[in-house]
Every structure is written in structure tokens, then in C-alpha cells.
Amino acid sequence: MARVSKIEDNRQRLLDEGVSMLTTQGYHGTGLKELLGNVSIPKGSFYNYFDSKESFCAEAIAHYLKPFIVQVEACLAVPSTDGLTAIQNYFNILINELEEQSFSGGCLLGNLLGEMGDTSDPCLKELSHSVHLYRDKLKEGFERAQAEGIARGDISAETMADLMVNNWQGALLRMKVEKSTRPLKECCDHLLAGYFKA
């Protein structure tokens, strides 16, 4: 039992460090030797935990997304908060975190989509799955806002969620170039406080 726990603990440490390295250095800039060294796991033991670098990256993508899904759910669960406000509150949390990080990193999903394109089937499959999972969680908020009568009803909640994700990813790229969260705030203002409102 302790052996299994040790293996799982090492896997989690590799995934945590991998998310950090992949976000800042990209897929091609993330070396397995450096990854293992950063978490003090013996060199050459990577394949005890993952089948390949591609499968590791795919798992890191899913690992990266989990806390964002939890955060969206937490914002949606706040009592007496309408759907649009809940989504705005969620993105405000992200904006504050990015300001604290001095605008570094951005979004692992967007970074990898830009870097890898269609060069890795396992990673592309997980990226597509993660983007849709994230979109669908935001869609829940837009569906609620429509039911509350505060979000427009002439476009679907899914379309609004897609527009939010797509515009947010573009705003993240502008943020990194401009070293400012202004593009992120404008994205939220124009969509959540403007275009999406009933």
C-alpha cells in the first residue's frame, strides 16, 4: 500500500511541476531531465510513471484544468448570485491572480494549442476535451442567466460560452504582450456587461 502511495505521490509531484514548466516553457522547452531534477525523482525513472512525454502532457492538461472547474463551480454555487455575476466573479479571480503573477504564464491550454497545433494526437485530443469541459461549465452559468432573464435569449448559452472562451484566450495573448490585464477586463466588460445582457 505504501508503495502505491509513493508512486501516486511522485506522479502528482511530476504533474504539478509539469504544469508549471509547460505553462512557462512550453512542450518543446520542457525537458524530462529538468522535470525529474526539479522534483528530486531519480533520472531515468520517468517511464515508471508515464508511457511517454505525450501521455504525460495529456495528463498534465487534465490536471491543470481541475482547479479551474472547481473555481467556476464555487462561483456558481454562491447563493443569491445571478449567472452573469457568478461568471464575472470567476474571471475577476483569474484577473487578480494574473496581476499577482505579473502577467506571466497565461493559460496552459491556449499556450499548447498555439505551440503544438495538430502535431500530437494524444495532446490535441485532451486539449479539445478540456476546452469543451471548461466551455460546458461556463455554459451552466449562461443557462442560469437566461433563465433569470438577465442574459439575451436570441443566442444559445453554448454560443455565449464559446465566445467567452475564445475572446478570453485572445485577451490572454494581448495581456502577455502588453503586460497589462486591460485586455482581460475589456473582454469581460464588453461581453458580460454588454453583449450578453438581455
The CATH classification number of 52-195 equals: 1.10.357.10
For 90-126, the pLDDT digits (tens) are: 999 999 999 988 877 778 888 888 887 667 788 888 9
Per domain, the residue ranges of the chain are: 52-195
Phi and psi dihedrals of 82, rounded to 5? -75, 165
For 126, the enclosing helix (H) or strand (E) is: helix 121-147
For 159-185, the pLDDT digits (tens) are: 999 999 999 999 998 998 899 999 999
Give residues with Cβ within 8 angstroms of 81, minimum separation 6: 75, 89
